[in-house]
Amino acid sequence: MVLLFKPTISFPLNMSLDPPKLNPRSFTIMNDTNNFTTPVDSSMTIDAPMEKRRLPILLFDVMDTIVRDPFYHDIPAFFGMSMKELLECKHPTAWNEFEKGLIDEDELARKFFKDGRHFDLQGLKTCIKRGYSFLDGVEELLCALKINNYEMHTFTNYPVWYQMIEDKLNLSNYLSWTFCSCKVGKQKPDPAFYDEVLRYLEVEPRSCIFIDDRMKNVEAAVHAGIIGLQFKGADVLRQDLSRLGVNIAVEELNNE
pLDDT in tens, 169-227: 999 999 999 999 999 999 999 999 999 999 999 999 999 999 999 999 999 999 999 99
Per-residue model confidence (pLDDT) at position 12: 65
Tell me if 25 sits within 8 A of 19, measured CB to CB. Answer: yes
- pTM of the model as a whole: 0.80
Per-residue model confidence (pLDDT) at position 251: 59
Tell me if 176 sits within 8 A of 153, measured CB to CB. Answer: yes
Whether omega before 20 lies within 30 degrees of 0, making that bond cis, reads: no
- The whole-angstrom separation of Cα 217 and Cα 199 is 18
3-state secondary structure of 117: coil
Residues 6+ apart with CB under 8 A from 70: 127, 128, 130, 131, 132
Per-residue model confidence (pLDDT) at position 15: 47
Tell me if 105 sits within 8 A of 160, measured CB to CB. Answer: yes
Per-residue model confidence (pLDDT) at position 249: 79
Residues 6+ apart with CB under 8 A from 151: 53, 54, 57, 58
Per-residue model confidence (pLDDT) at position 105: 96
Tell me if 201 sits within 8 A of 228, measured CB to CB. Answer: no
Residue 197's DSSP bridge partners are: none
**Which residues, given as ranges, of the chain have pLDDT below 50?**
1-5, 14-50, 252-256
